[in-house]
Amino acid sequence: MMVVVLLADQLSKYWILHGLDLPRKISVAILPWLNFTWVENRGVTFGMFGGRAPLLFMVVSLLACLVLLGVMVRSRSRVVSLCCGAIIGGALGNVLDRSRFGWVEDFIHCHVTIGGRTWSWYVFNVADAAIVCGVFIWMAYSFYSDWKMRRRTVG
């Protein structure tokens, strides 16, 4: 999963940069609720802490990857291992961007307009999606496993 996510992230960013030439176009409508919008994210998740201490962000990300790699290798759960792989692959994809460009290439922009009001999500990339999905699925799986174990001991 780690390699799949890393490749999907880097290939999508390469295509956005060189194939679609998004930096020149800035934004391209794909669907009524989806645009590809060029953003150079110098912060961390959703642009927080914009541009402060990029080396620190990379070191912390790499340390987190090492910890997750240990969890992935030791886990007896395929779900946990896959989630760790998704998170590591996403983190490495963003670290590669930050080390090459000094920023992370974000381009997926979801939005919806209802009754004249527009709601817009932060612009993100494949790596970010893999990290968020990996964390969410891992948490859901952990809650489910805990609930299942408690049912066995009670009943």
- Considering the candidates 21, 97, 106, 146, report the single residue annotated as catalytic: 106
Q: Which bin fits 143, alpha (ψ -120 to 50), beta or left (φ > 0)?
A: alpha
Cβ-count burial of 142 within 10 angstroms (0-12 exposed, 13-18 middle, 19+ buried)?
middle
Query: Is residue 9 flagged as an active site residue?
Result: no
Closest CA to 108 of 117, 118, 93, 120: 120
- Is residue 97 annotated as a catalytic residue, yes or no? no
Point out the catalytic residue in the list 9, 97, 128, 146.
Answer: 128
Nearest-angstrom CA–CA distance, 84 and 82: 5
In the chain, count of helices (H) and strands (E)? 5, 4
**Which residues does the annotation mark as catalytic?**
106, 128
